[in-house]
């Protein structure tokens, strides 16, 4: 086991991570004329798509792979890779599946439902707050694959937001629906001085000496003679205000300008008023109305946000007197995710040139913040992790599972009371196994699998987190219980009570006995050798998961769980034949798959060695001379000397029933006979 750990750790360190696979040539084949694929952007792995518009090339959108930007691992531990195309406004033009390793879509359901799911993104905007299975307006999920499509959706949205942030001025990684909201009815008449005092209007005065200090010690120092000659003169006066806030716009702008501004803004848009005075201009003589001014930059959370001129000639309200040379009303579209609850960072770039033929351009920025007072917006709610929706949606099933597991733990802890009546225990156990098959297996889809472990191996190999596991709350809850039970009882709690396929095999065995089929008892020596096979299967799967994921996808099919439980036998005939064959085999060889082939069982057996209790009661006579429990154990988990092999025990508790029974336990039967002995009395009445 120690050697296996070392090998896996080495593979985790050495194995490469997955990345996008498309080239510019491949994209050109996918997007033929009249579209043209540009060079990949330097700041984000996305290709611009252009089309000819007269003499100009019009930007159609950006194409990118989700694995390059948001490699959210799926349940196989490998991120899905999707080709995503968004237009300059953040609207999805197309989403296509390039590769995916989700077990539920590899077989059974097939990829068709996944392709149908991603087609729903077409025409939707990043500003809509796209959700999956959340009711009206949300994306339709996929039955039996809700957790998988949530992971895929998170990958698509996260990747798209990163591109939108880098290339379209959108906010980094924030859900555009989770930003502060301007209060439209919050208005009180305020003078200019009152607005300045309240922080609604920000005034910044920059002198020539301040600018020279920005360039001090660099190539741009001392290049502006006017600045050097008059260090105390004004370089620029700037006034900035959030004009779409009623308490600002209605007090600062003339009524006609305010009304025009309201008519030009879409829901979610923001308007900023910028006024300047002094020799330095932010627009300049070559500024074109409706364009983006180069002389002022807006950032939020250190990320650029595009401001575009509204082409409105602003007029100030009566009584507002500012010595402004320039006045601009700039719009920030709603899709940019500008958050009124967070500070705005403005910067005025100042560029100097050094040299004549090929001048060196040196740029420094005059930076200043602006924070809208809290009284004029509603702060956003804290963004909940994407996986929380899965937990809320399945809270009823989680409650049922939680109660059931608590009952099971209590019953196993009170094993003497549980097995006090052998007949009652048999029926209780069968009822529980039916619950395991019906609820845990088919209803909750919480069949634990070796895929859970290979997914972790592949996620760690690529240096990713394990947050993806939280998208399947029932599986997480069951794993948590199983891991705790390993410390108390060992492997048997899951394999004997909580594995739906194991329960199917147990009922298959009962059916075989009812049909009087010959029950094959594997000889102890052969049985011991066959039990080692599952450890070899486990090692092969884990090594493949770390080194050759494609091979691991094939090897995990040795588990029939997906066919029999997840997909309810709706799959290719070879998989169905294999699963059915294992169940038929269980009618004559008790739980043959669990004992000899199950890689998950092997992993739990290894982990179960940390067990704290030898919970199966034993007597001094067990094994010497009594062999009742050993012969009755259909798993060959009891040695001739009476010791229990907990790594191979399935917690059927048959030996515990025998131990507590006056009719089945040989030492107890002998003890009862001794207690019932009749003393011999002589004819004279003496003993």
Top pLDDT among 41 and 485 is at 485
Q: Judge contact between 95 and 156, C-beta under 8 A.
A: yes
**Above 50 in pLDDT, residue 32?**
yes
What is d(CA 371, CA 329) in angstroms, rounded to the nearest whole number?
A: 18
Question: So what's the pLDDT on residue 679?
Answer: 62
What is d(CA 237, CA 234) in angstroms, rounded to the nearest whole number?
A: 7
Give Cα separations from 522 to 527, 558, 595, 634 (angstroms): 6, 22, 11, 9
Q: What is the pLDDT of residues 69-101, one digit of tens each?
A: 888 888 877 889 999 999 988 899 999 999 988
Question: So what's the pLDDT on residue 135?
Answer: 59
| Averaged pLDDT of the chain | 86
Find the range with the poorest average confidence among 119-128, 129-138, 283-292, 614-623.
129-138
pLDDT tier, 176 (very low <50, low <70, confident <90, very high otherwise): very low
Question: So what's the pLDDT on residue 340?
Answer: 93
**Above 90 in pLDDT, residue 588?**
yes
The arithmetic mean of pLDDT across residues 24-49, rounded, is 88
Q: Is the peptide bond before 34 cis (omega within 30 degrees of 0)?
A: yes
284, two tokens:
């300049």
Phi-psi region of 418 (alpha: psi -120 to 50; beta: other; left: phi over 0): alpha
DSSP secondary structure of 58-116: EEEEEEEEHHHH-----TTSS--EEEEEE-TTSBEEEEEEEE---HHHHTTT-SHHHHH
Helix (H, G, I), strand (E, B) or coil at 279: coil
Q: Judge contact between 165 and 303, C-beta under 8 A.
A: yes
Question: So what's the pLDDT on residue 172?
Answer: 52
Handedness of CA 536, 540, 545, 546 (dihedral sign): positive
What is d(CA 492, CA 429) in angstroms, rounded to the nearest whole number?
A: 14
**Above 90 in pLDDT, residue 2?**
no
pLDDT tier, 129 (very low <50, low <70, confident <90, very high otherwise): low
pLDDT tier, 412 (very low <50, low <70, confident <90, very high otherwise): very high
44, two tokens:
């984000």
The arithmetic mean of pLDDT across residues 261-285, rounded, is 90
Question: So what's the pLDDT on residue 8?
Answer: 38
Find the range with the poorest average confidence among 10-14, 418-422, 646-650.
10-14
Q: Judge contact between 241 and 273, C-beta under 8 A.
A: yes
**Above 60 in pLDDT, residue 1?**
no
What is d(CA 462, CA 79) in angstroms, rounded to the nearest whole number?
A: 10
Per the listing, tokens 């102890």 go with 524
Q: Phi then psi for 101, rounded to 5 degrees? A: -125, 20
The burial class, CB within 10 Å (0-12 / 13-18 / 19+), for 217 is exposed
The arithmetic mean of pLDDT across residues 6-13, rounded, is 37
Q: What is the pLDDT of residues 192-202, one digit of tens each?
A: 999 999 999 99
**Above 70 in pLDDT, residue 407?**
yes
Which residues contact residue 509 at a Cβ distance below 8 angstroms, ignoring those fewer than 6 apart? Answer: 586, 587, 590, 591, 634
Question: So what's the pLDDT on residue 440?
Answer: 95
Q: Judge contact between 83 and 93, C-beta under 8 A.
A: no
Question: So what's the pLDDT on residue 276?
Answer: 95
548, two tokens:
């050759």
Top pLDDT among 41 and 587 is at 587
Q: Judge contact between 73 and 66, C-beta under 8 A.
A: no
Which residues contact residue 581 at a Cβ distance below 8 angstroms, ignoring those fewer than 6 apart? Answer: none
DSSP state, 15?
S
Question: So what's the pLDDT on residue 382?
Answer: 66
Question: So what's the pLDDT on residue 250?
Answer: 95
Side-chain half-sphere exposure of 630, counting CA atoms within 13 A: 17
**Above 80 in pLDDT, residue 327?**
yes
Find the range with the poorest average confidence among 159-173, 370-384, 499-513.
159-173
- The share of the chain scoring above pLDDT 90, in percent, equals 48
Per the listing, tokens 């008790």 go with 590
Question: So what's the pLDDT on residue 299?
Answer: 87
- Residue-level length of the chain: 687
Q: Judge contact between 557 and 575, C-beta under 8 A.
A: yes
Question: So what's the pLDDT on residue 10?
Answer: 37
Q: What is the pLDDT of residues 511-537, one digit of tens each?
A: 999 999 999 989 989 999 999 999 999
CA 414 to chain centre: 39
Top pLDDT among 600 and 381 is at 600
pLDDT tier, 19 (very low <50, low <70, confident <90, very high otherwise): low
Q: Work out the angle at residue 346's Cα, subtended by the Cα atoms of residues 370 and 283, and round it to the nearest 5 degrees.
A: 125
């Amino acid at each position: 086991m120690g050697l296996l750990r070392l090998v896996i750790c080495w593979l985790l360190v050495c194995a490469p991570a997955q990345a996008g696979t498309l080239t510019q040539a491949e994209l050109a084949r996918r997007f033929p004329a009249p579209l043209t694929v540009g060079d990949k952007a330097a700041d984000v792995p996305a290709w611009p798509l252009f089309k000819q518009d007269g003499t100009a090339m019009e930007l159609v959108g950006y194409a990118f792979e989700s694995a390059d930007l948001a490699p959210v691992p799926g349940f196989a531990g490998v991120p899905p890779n999707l080709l995503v195309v968004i237009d300059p406004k953040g609207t999805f033009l197309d989403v296509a599946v390039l590769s995916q390793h989700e077990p539920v879509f590899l077989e059974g359901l097939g990829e068709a439902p996944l392709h149908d799911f991603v087609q729903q993104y077409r025409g939707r905007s990043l500003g809509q707050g796209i959700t999956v299975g959340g009711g009206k307006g949300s994306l339709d999920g996929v039955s039996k694959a809700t957790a998988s499509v949530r992971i895929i959706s998170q990958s698509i949205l996260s990747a798209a937001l990163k591109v939108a942030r880098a290339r379209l001025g959108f906010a980094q990684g924030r859900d555009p629906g989770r930003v502060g909201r301007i209060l439209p009815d919050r208005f009180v008449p305020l003078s200019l001085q009152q607005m300045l005092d309240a922080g609604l209007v920000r005034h910044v005065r920059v002198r020539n000496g301040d600018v020279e200090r920005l360039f001090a010690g660099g190539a741009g120092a001392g290049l502006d003679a006017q600045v050097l000659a008059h260090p105390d003169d004004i370089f620029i006066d700037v006034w900035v205000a959030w004009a779409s806030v009623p308490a600002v716009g209605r007090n600062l702008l003339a009524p006609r300008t305010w009304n025009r501004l309201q008519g030009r803004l879409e829901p979610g848009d923001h308007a900023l008023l910028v006024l300047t005075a002094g020799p330095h201009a932010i627009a300049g003589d070559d500024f074109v109305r409706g364009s983006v001014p180069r002389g002022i930059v807006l950032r939020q959370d250190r990320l650029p946000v595009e401001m575009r001129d509204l082409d409105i000639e602003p007029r100030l309200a009566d009584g507002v007197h500012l010595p402004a040379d320039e006045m601009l009303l700039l719009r920030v579209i709603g899709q940019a995710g500008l958050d009124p609850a967070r500070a705005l960072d403005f910067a005025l770039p100042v560029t100097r040139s050094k040299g004549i033929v090929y001048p060196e351009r040196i740029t420094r920025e005059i930076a200043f913040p602006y924070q809208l007072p809290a009284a004029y917006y509603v702060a956003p709610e804290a963004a909940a992790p994407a996986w929380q929706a899965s937990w809320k949606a399945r809270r009823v099933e989680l409650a049922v599972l939680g109660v059931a597991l608590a009952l099971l733990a209590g019953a196993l802890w009170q094993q003497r009371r549980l097995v006090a009546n052998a007949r009652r225990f048999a029926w209780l156990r069968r009822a529980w196994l039916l619950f395991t098959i019906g609820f845990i297996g088919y209803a909750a889809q919480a069949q634990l699998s070796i895929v859970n472990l290979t997914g972790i191996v592949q996620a760690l190999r690529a240096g990713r987190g394990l947050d993806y596991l939280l998208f399947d709350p029932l599986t997480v809850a069951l794993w948590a219980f199983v891991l705790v039970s390993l410390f108390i009882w060992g492997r048997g709690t899951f394999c004997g009570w909580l594995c739906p396929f194991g329960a199917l095999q147990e009922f298959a065995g009962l059916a075989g006995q009812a049909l009087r089929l010959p029950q094959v008892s594997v000889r102890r020596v052969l049985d011991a050798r066959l039990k080692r096979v599952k450890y070899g299967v486990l090692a092969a799967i884990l090594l493949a998961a770390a080194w050759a994921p494609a091979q691991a996808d094939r090897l995990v099919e040795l588990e029939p769980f997906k066919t029999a439980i997840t997909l309810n036998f709706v799959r290719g005939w070879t998989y169905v034949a294999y699963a059915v064959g294992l169940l038929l085999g269980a009618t004559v060889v008790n739980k043959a798959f669990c004992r000899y082939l199950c890689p998950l069982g092997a992993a739990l057996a290894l982990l179960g060695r940390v067990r704290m209790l030898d919970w199966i009661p034993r007597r001094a006579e067990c094994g010497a001379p009594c062999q009742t429990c050993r012969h009755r154990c259909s798993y060959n988990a009891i040695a001739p000397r009476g010791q229990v092999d907990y790594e191979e025990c399935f917690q059927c508790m048959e030996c515990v029933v025998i131990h507590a029974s006056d009719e089945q336990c040989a030492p107890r039967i002998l003890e009862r006979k001794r207690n019932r002995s009749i003393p011999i009395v002589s004819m004279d009445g003496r003993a």
